[in-house]
Amino acid sequence: MTATSLQDCEALDRQDPLRELRDRFDLPDGVIYLDGNSLGALPRATPRRVAEAVERGWGRGLIKSWNAEGWAGLPRTVGDKIARLIGAGPGEVVAADSTSVNLYKVLFAAIRLAATASPQRRIILSERGNFSTDLYIAESLCQQHGYTLKLVAPGDLQLALDGDVAVLMLTQVNFRTGAMHDMPSLTARAHAQGALAVWDLAHSAGAVPVDVHGAQADFAVGCGYKYLNGGPGSPAYVWVHPQHVNRVAQPLSGWWSHSAPFAFAAGYEPATGIDRYLAGSPPILSLVALDCGLDTLLSAEPLGGMAALRRKSLALTEMFMGLVRERLSGHGLGIVTPEEQSRRGSQVCLTRDEGGYAIVQALMARGVIGDFRVGDGQQQPDILRFGFAPLYVRFVDVWNAVEQLRQVLDRGEWRDARFAQPKPVT
Amino acid sequence: MTATSLQDCEALDRQDPLRELRDRFDLPDGVIYLDGNSLGALPRATPRRVAEAVERGWGRGLIKSWNAEGWAGLPRTVGDKIARLIGAGPGEVVAADSTSVNLYKVLFAAIRLAATASPQRRIILSERGNFSTDLYIAESLCQQHGYTLKLVAPGDLQLALDGDVAVLMLTQVNFRTGAMHDMPSLTARAHAQGALAVWDLAHSAGAVPVDVHGAQADFAVGCGYKYLNGGPGSPAYVWVHPQHVNRVAQPLSGWWSHSAPFAFAAGYEPATGIDRYLAGSPPILSLVALDCGLDTLLSAEPLGGMAALRRKSLALTEMFMGLVRERLSGHGLGIVTPEEQSRRGSQVCLTRDEGGYAIVQALMARGVIGDFRVGDGQQQPDILRFGFAPLYVRFVDVWNAVEQLRQVLDRGEWRDARFAQPKPVT
């Protein structure tokens, strides 16, 4: 489906069964926001919710609010809302810490579990282009525990999943290409080979229907500040399959992960269930904002929920790719995001031999916000990245973004010195 | 100094050079808040600062605010303010994660460093009554790396610091007794024996002048939500002596700890300096609240700063202990907090053979907020804990709190069923 005019897009927006959801966000005038995959937009309900936590919860209730306002239970309350987006059950998810820290917990646990079954396996397998923090955390654990981090191209994962692999660690949707892995199939292959599967849902949960139980995943982590609209640096989350959760302790054994945190008991005893994946006190103000972001996302449930959001997301990304091909041909743009619907997330990533950074800057000056992801000069090209959060991006935004991009390219506007990429500090 | 009347206390408040600081806090009417050592009170400036971060920073600025609002630098900006309270230099502290998570980072680094000098040392030494999360984190690292956590009574620490100790790990002010360690002396003893010293400043920084360089400490962590008034579950902080900071990588090697986080480079390379103690994205809304809490605390600098705050804190705690002895004798209360000024922090901890929990509840019903810390039935008694945050606690509050406690005890009010301690879930 490619729209042929702005009017077509306006018609699609009028017919969009999710159109009312955009009103739940406070978006700046004159901005086309295509970076919700980096920082989700502000829900209209959030300022008041946060202000209440500050003024009533903290200011009036003081220490009593840990109970009276439900703060102590918030990692689970928020976790239960996330569970509904990823196919997990109630009580299986906690919101806590950052994605990096949570990945450390689950990857450590996965290594331990894998070693109980087959201690000779010493490989953690991942994708070469996985998000950097995932690879860095895996490096640290490999170095500490005598494992090797093996990185391959996405197409080589099935083959690389052999009997030496202890843990397969992947991000479902790649941050740089928008390509989506087949989570059930890769997990099944991992299990068939005797390995465990750890999934990072940062770029999928909230934009793509995820089913951790359906895929028989072992562990998952994810991010609160992208499609969950939790706000800048919002807490992340962690899910562990119930069959594993009580079999091993995670290493960040802070008091909140203890079976009785307020007993101040001598000796660590991990909590039963997912609470053992907590560590220290949760940042309540940020967690309240995440709770509100989730309420906003879950308000799509009566309108069809994640399935409806996914349909719209696919229509948006497909239209964007179509318009780029039709209206921007001859400008040297490549599309690295897969055509095939089942193989892409909710973003479209473009490449260009020259000027990627400047083009993104020139677009921002025109009110179209995407982002630039630098390549490595070898296998990974520079990326112009556009995210299509189906909660608030409209079809007219797609049309207008492509039109703005066309003007930036037609006029060579990106060559203006003010858009030049700063030289790296050496 | 013991005041003999409410009028004396009123006079002391009038003469208090710090009296204007209380106006910077939004305290509920009718409440005497003696729990700032658990959750600091709300600064009046905080609601607006947080609202601006939500509405202008997130809502209007969206992704651009990571640079335009200085969010990306906030861990260091906030860290530099904390540095002024603990005798650290600019660029030596970052605000990040929780105390538990930060302790994991520094204790791991301390073990690694100690092992490079003397790999045969396999003991982490601490105090038996140290805060539970510190001990749990140490347990995890001991179990992973083949160390033993040795716990002794505070008076036995100097003797226990022998040539087998790799790392001394202590909380400067004990959460349960208010007793303060001699940080320079214990650190010097540790160094003389070839061990490193890790200090948790959760109950001291912001209430007691701390000087990590003066004490020649090696590593320190601390908490943002107590005397720093950063709000519920506020991010914590970490300091590493500049002589150590680049010698070892910490294990939670998330992208924010990388030398070039946004290069998404293959291969982990830790940042130079304290940034390598970051991990994932910081929770900005909570961090903004901490920044504001620190501004409020640092507004005491023209009035004498930490030295003046300490003078007032000692006067408050001394008066409280004096009044408890004089006006509450015969009620079976014990005082476990040291008399000697140099040996106590900013809280006073009482014991009673019976009814501790109920007494704290009865006091709360009368608007006097302290807290109860359960003992272990053996070495650690139950504690009635009263914190005296010198920024906002007045001398009349001390008088009135003791008077309320007297009435609760005289009238046996705490025996009322509504104040009974819930039975533990078994």
Task: Provide φ and ψ at B56, rounded to 5°.
Answer: -85, -50
d(CA B301, CA B285): 26
The pLDDT, as a whole number, for residue A2 is 59
User: If you average pLDDT over residues B189-213, what whole number do you get?
Assistant: 98
Contact at CB, A231 and B128, closer than 8 angstroms:
no
Q: Using one digit for the tens of pLDDT, what is the confidence trace for B21-49? A: 999 999 999 999 999 999 999 999 999 99
Q: Report chain B's mean pLDDT, rounded to a whole number.
A: 96
Contact at CB, B266 and A128, closer than 8 angstroms:
yes
Domains A6-43+305-419 and A70-298 share a fold: no
Domain boundaries, chain A: 6-43+305-419, 70-298
ipTM: 0.97
Which residue has better confidence, B339 or B380? B339
| Candidates A58, A141, A254; nearest CB to B136 | A254
- Please count the other Cβ atoms lying within 10 Å of the Cβ belonging to residue A396: 18
d(CA B123, CA A274): 31
Helix (H) or strand (E) holding B148: strand B148-152
Contact at CB, A54 and B289, closer than 8 angstroms:
yes
Contact at CB, B376 and A266, closer than 8 angstroms:
yes
Residue of A98, A126, A385 to mutate, testing the B interface (most B Cβ within 10 Å of its Cβ): A98
Using pLDDT thresholds of 50, 70 and 90, give the confidence band for residue B422: confident
- Å between A163 CA and nearest CA of chain B: 25
Of chain B, the percentage scoring pLDDT greater than 70 comes to: 99
Residues of B with CB below 8 A from A29's CB? none
d(CA B17, CA B37): 22
A70-298: what CATH class?
alpha beta
Query: What separation in angstroms does the CA of A116 have from each of A112, A113, A204, B217, B413?
Result: 6, 5, 31, 40, 56
Using pLDDT thresholds of 50, 70 and 90, give the confidence band for residue B378: confident
d(CA A351, CA B50): 38
Tell me the DSSP string of B231-285.
Answer: -TT--EEEEE-HHHHTTS--S---GGGBSSGGGT-SS--BPSSGGGG--S---HH
CA A96 to chain CA centroid, nearest Å = 15
| Candidates B51, B54, B280; nearest CB to A100 | B280
User: Which CATH code for domain B6-43+304-419?
Assistant: 3.90.1150.10
Stretches where chain A sits below pLDDT 50 are 426
What CATH architecture does domain A6-43+305-419 belong to? Alpha-Beta Complex (3.90)
| Candidates B58, B133, B287; nearest CB to A254 | B133
d(CA A132, CA A136): 6
Q: Using one digit for the tens of pLDDT, what is the confidence trace for A215-244? A: 999 999 999 999 999 999 999 999 999 999
Interface of A with B in 322-341 (CB under 8 A): none
User: Which distant-in-sequence residues (6+ apart) come within 8 Å of A301 by Cβ?
Assistant: A84
For residue B426, is pLDDT > 80?
no
Choosing from B81, B226, B312, B373, the catalytic residue is B226
Residues of B with CB below 8 A from A267's CB? 139
The pLDDT, as a whole number, for residue B2 is 59
B255 touches chain A (CB under 8 A): yes
The pLDDT, as a whole number, for residue B425 is 54
- Å between A8 CA and nearest CA of chain B: 29
Within 13 Å of residue B230, how many CA atoms lie on the same side as its CB?
36
Q: What's this model's pTM, rounded to 2 decimal places? A: 0.97
Query: Closest residue of A to B66, CA-based?
Result: A232
Contact at CB, A285 and B286, closer than 8 angstroms:
yes
Contact at CB, A255 and B132, closer than 8 angstroms:
yes
| Candidates B46, B98, B255; nearest CB to A280 | B98
Q: Using one digit for the tens of pLDDT, what is the confidence trace for B139-178? A: 999 999 999 999 999 999 999 999 999 999 999 999 999 9
d(CA B422, CA B96): 35
Pick the closest to residue A34 from A290, A387, A422 (CA basis). A387
Look at chain A and count its residues. 426
Question: Is B150 one of the catalytic residues?
Answer: no
The pLDDT, as a whole number, for residue B421 is 86
d(CA A383, CA A14): 32
- Å between B4 CA and nearest CA of chain A: 30
The pLDDT, as a whole number, for residue B24 is 98
Contact at CB, A133 and B280, closer than 8 angstroms:
yes
Of chain A, the percentage scoring pLDDT greater than 90 comes to: 95
Question: Is B312 one of the catalytic residues?
Answer: no
